[in-house]
Amino acid sequence: MRLIPVKQALSMMEGATPAKSQYRKITFLTAKKDRSLSLEHGSDGLVLREQGYRDECTAFGAEAKSAHECRHAIKQAFKREFPRSHKVYVSTAK
């Protein structure tokens, strides 16, 4: 795991929404590692998992409209899970 700025993490996660992304799974954790946000490519689309303030899992389809909805959900989740963080840990799987 490496420590990166939150703005870079947000753009990295938004870039991972298309099906042609180089990452199969991206996970972001806070410094204390008590809250996390992960995006995983599944067989039928994307799965966004939040663990921290909310413990929920949201699935998005593979079509373009779902990708837009996923990007919006990612931005909202980042604001919710990392409100005062300047840096987050990142773990990727290809």
- Residue-wise pLDDT for 25-61, tens only, equals 999 999 899 999 999 988 788 899 999 988 999 998 8
Tokens of 10: 């947000």
User: Structural domain of residue 64, as residue ranges?
Assistant: 2-93
Above pLDDT 90, what percent of the chain? 46
- Bridge partners of 47, per DSSP, are 40, 59
Report pLDDT for 91.
94
pLDDT at 86 over 80: yes
Position 68: which residue type?
H
**Percent of the chain with pLDDT strictly greater than 70:** 97
When divided into structural domains, the chain yields a total of 1
Global pTM value: 0.84
CATH assignment of the domain containing 76: 3.30.1490
Q: What is the mean pLDDT of residues 7-22?
A: 81
Count other Cβ atoms within 10 Å, centred on residue 88.
Answer: 25
Q: How far apart are CA 33 and CA 30, in angstroms?
A: 5
